[in-house]
Each structure stands twice: as C-alpha cells, then as structure tokens.
Copies of this chain bind each other. A is one copy, B any other.
Amino acid sequence: MPELRHDPLQKRWIIIATERAMRPTDFEVCEEPQKENTCPFCEGNESMTPPEILAYRDEGTQPNEPGWTVRVISNKFPALRIDGDLDRRGLGLYDAMNGVGAHEVIIETTEHTLTTADFDHDQMIRVLTIYRDRIADLKKDDRFRYILIFKNHGEAAGASLSHSHTQLIATPVTPRTVAIELETSKEHYREKERCLMCDLIQQETVFPDRIIRDDGHYVILSPFASRFPFECWVVPKVHKHAFETTTDEELSFLAETMKDILSRLKICLNDPPYNFILHTSPNTEAKPKRPMYWQTVEFDYHWHFEIIPRLTRVAGFEWGSGFYINPMPPEEAARYLSQAAPKSS
C-alpha cells in the first residue's frame, strides 16, 4: 500500500509509492523509443490498458473497444490506490496515512501524433468536458480532498508516452501550492471581502502589459512573478471557484482560449515541452469537514490553469530554496506570445 507522509518542517505531504520494489539500478535511465503500433492509447489497442472508467463514444460501440473520442482509464502504475481507508496515524512527531486515492489517465484523442494544440474546437470541448465530469464524479467520494488535473507534453516535461493524454490524481490532502493559494485568498477576502484573483485580473486589465488575450470570458496572461520563461495563466474573467461548475457555453469559450494559448506556445517556441495544471477549489465535502477553512472558498478562491513551458533546466537551488530565477521578463514574454498569431479553428 502506498503511504502519504507529512514533513513536519515543511508542512508538506509526500506520496511514498510502494507498488514496485525498486533497486538503485532501476533509476539508470535507458528508454527505448516506442513503436507506434504498440501504443496502448491508440484506437484498436484498448485491450492493452486497464478497463475504461468513462469514454465518450459513438452510439452502439462497446466499452474497451474502438469507437471513442476521449477515454479515461486507471493509470497502469498508480501512485495511489482506490481501495481502503485513510487510517490517519501519528508516528512520534510524524504524520502518515494510507495512500488512498485515484490515479487516472485521460486519453485525449485516438490519433497518435496529434498534439493538444492541433485539436479542432469540438475535440478540445470534449477534453475539457471530460475533466469536468471526472472532477464532479470524484468529488462524490468524501475520502478525497483534492482532484488534481495536469498534463505533461514532451519527454522533457515528464511524459513517458507521446500520445496526447492528461493525468488526474485524487488525493486525501490538499497539495501545498494550492493550500497556500487558498490561504492567501482567504486572508485577502477576510480583509476586503473581495477575491484576490478578481482584484489581480482587474489590475492587469488596466495595465495590460502582461495580457496575451482577453475575449471577455477568459484572459490569458503572463503572471507578474512568473517563475519560468513564458509561464501563462488562463483565468475566467467572472469569479468562479470550482472548475466543475463551468457551463457548456463557458466550456466552448474556454476550449477556444486553451487552443489559442497552446497554439501560440507551439508557434512561438517551436512546439516546446510543457506542463499545465488546473488549480481549482478543493472538495469541501471531504471528511473530516473543515468548515472554518472552507466556509468562504466559494467567494475567495478563483480557479485557473497554469501553463509552464519547460525551456530551462531547473537546478538544485530551486528545489532546495523555493526561489526561482527567470531570465525572461513576463512583459516581454506576453509581447512575444501576443504577436504569435495562431490560425483560428
């Protein structure tokens, strides 16, 4: 059983995965290029994956057979296990609990070589809709406090399979980065009764040096304190704390926005490796309930996507210090990305 462990100095939870016994030599990297006909995510190879959890399919087709457009499966090497109780326990000064959670893979397309930036509008809508469906479904499980949606594109960004996919991890704890945002947002709300992100968006719109695109529904911007060159955020302009409450109409605008920024990055940076991650409200129904903490989350937190091109090597001091050096001023990054005009779909 994997274990979740809490670091008392850093106040941070770590997953210790134990599903595969590893020896020191297992870490020497030696990867074979993957042959296309053996890709488990390609249409026709459904039997090579764990059974599907959800798929959007043509009428009349059967689960785990061809005929789908987007498909969700369990991760074959899950970091967390879906079965069991949390069993929270203290170990002297330490805290631990069972590694209970979900680890899923969202296969975004049947086409092996298509990148997310190349999807047509309808396919992009399907991908975002299946994010929404999986989050809504997993929030019904009151063991899970957070549902994390993230994508690794390209080997340098950590993708082990090149076929376009997104990952989902449901955890019994809130990841630290999100927890810090929840706290700063709550503090701001307590003082001003306004959402911090709404205030930031308002300020950015007045001095639009860092705005890449603003269609009135979603804004793409280079954050003021970007950690990485060409880091971008996609933020809804109207306050919304939880991604899964996005309406179909809003998803259509979001699909356009996501395609737009992924295309700009592809054009401007020559199809760079990148990661994106969804920051959204935690599961306020998770047990044990934390009413004080969650009470105002609907008003104070504002969901957004963070997109990080992986252009620079991250050295040790960033890991050890939480301090970043970014050689590209965000205003310049915004200017380059504004000028990289994608084809409209």
Choice from B11, B171, B226, B328 contacting A22 with Cβ under 8 Å:
B328
> A299-332 vs B: 1/0 string, CB under 8 Å?
0000000101011111111011111111111101
Q: Hey, which chain B residues are within 8 Å of A121, CB to CB? A: none
Q: Hey, which chain B residues are within 8 Å of A332, CB to CB? A: 22
Chain A interface mostly: mixed
**Contact yes or no, A148 B316, CB < 8 A:** no
Which partner residue on chain B sits nearest A158 by CB separation?
B315
A97 in the interface (beta carbon within 8 A): no
Chain A contact-residue range equals 35 or more
Residues of A100-153 at the interface with B, using a CB-CB cut-off of 8 Å, are 148, 150-152
Which partner residue on chain B sits nearest A310 by CB separation?
B316
**Contact yes or no, B12 A325, CB < 8 A:** no
CA distance A99 to B14 in the complex (A): 33
- The segment from A1-9, A37-45, A62-70, A242-250 that touches chain B is A1-9
Choice from B9, B148, B151, B320 contacting A321 with Cβ under 8 Å:
B148
**Contact yes or no, B327 A20, CB < 8 A:** yes
A279 in the interface (beta carbon within 8 A): yes
A56 in the interface (beta carbon within 8 A): no
**Contact yes or no, B158 A314, CB < 8 A:** yes
Q: Hey, which chain B residues are within 8 Å of A313, CB to CB? A: 156, 158
Choice from B27, B196, B197 contacting A312 with Cβ under 8 Å:
B27
A230 CB to closest chain B CB (Å) equals: 7
Q: Hey, which chain B residues are within 8 Å of A323, CB to CB? A: 12-15, 148, 169, 171, 175-177
> How many copies of the chain does the oligomer comprise?
2
**Contact yes or no, A277 B316, CB < 8 A:** yes
| A94/B148 contact (C-beta < 8 A), A15-B326, A277-B320 known | no
A253 in the interface (beta carbon within 8 A): no
**Contact yes or no, A317 B94, CB < 8 A:** no
A276 in the interface (beta carbon within 8 A): yes
**Contact yes or no, A181 B10, CB < 8 A:** yes
A102 CB to closest chain B CB (Å) equals: 14
A152 CB to closest chain B CB (Å) equals: 5
A238 in the interface (beta carbon within 8 A): no
Choice from B156, B184, B226 contacting A8 with Cβ under 8 Å:
B184
Which partner residue on chain B sits nearest A274 by CB separation?
B316
Which partner residue on chain B sits nearest A269 by CB separation?
B24
**Contact yes or no, A11 B184, CB < 8 A:** yes
A61 in the interface (beta carbon within 8 A): no
**Contact yes or no, A321 B14, CB < 8 A:** no
Q: Hey, which chain B residues are within 8 Å of A34, CB to CB? A: none
A180 in the interface (beta carbon within 8 A): yes
Residues of A161-193 at the interface with B, using a CB-CB cut-off of 8 Å, are 167, 169, 171, 175-178, 180-181, 184-185, 188
**Contact yes or no, B316 A9, CB < 8 A:** no
The 8 closest A-B pairs by CB, nearest first: A275-B316, A158-B315, A277-B320, A176-B322, A175-B321, A7-B225, A27-B311, A177-B322
